[in-house]
Amino acid sequence: MKKILLISLSGFLIILGLLGYGIYWAFFDMQRLPEGRFLTEAVSPDGDYTVRAYVTDGGGATVAFSVRAELVFNDEDKRKKNIYWAYREETATINWIDNNTVEINGRHLNVPTEKYDFRNN
């Protein structure tokens, strides 16, 4: 009886975990954002990072423009990662505050750990 209960509970937890990951992947994963049209880029003062900004049209007349920014690791062999996603923006202003702090459209981010996603703020 305990064995059947343990197997059932394990199966339920696996299904729940897969469902949770599927929801995250479909709705919150910033690596799946659309590419967009290139706007501008800025290199960090020490040259370690580059932030590139793109604008996307949202795919139709009912969706506003959005700005996506990605962090590029210049000296390391790492994949670029999306660090900024803002809805109802069409332009991007990128300023480096110091070697690890970037300001994108007035929002400060410590790279490479922080990100801004309008869906979560």
Q: 83-111: per-residue pLDDT in tens?
A: 998 989 999 999 999 999 999 999 999 99
What does R_g of the chain's alpha carbons equal in angstroms? Answer: 19
Would residue 55 be called left, alpha or beta, if left means φ above 0 and alpha means ψ between -120 and 50 degrees? beta
d(CA 94, CA 106): 9
- Half-sphere exposure at residue 11, Cβ-oriented, CA atoms within 13 angstroms: 6
Is the pLDDT confidence value at 12 over 90? Answer: no
Sign of CA dihedral 9, 14, 18, 23: positive
In the chain, % helix, strand, coil (3-state, to 5) comes to: 25, 35, 35
Worst-scoring range by mean pLDDT, 60-64, 67-71, 101-105?
60-64
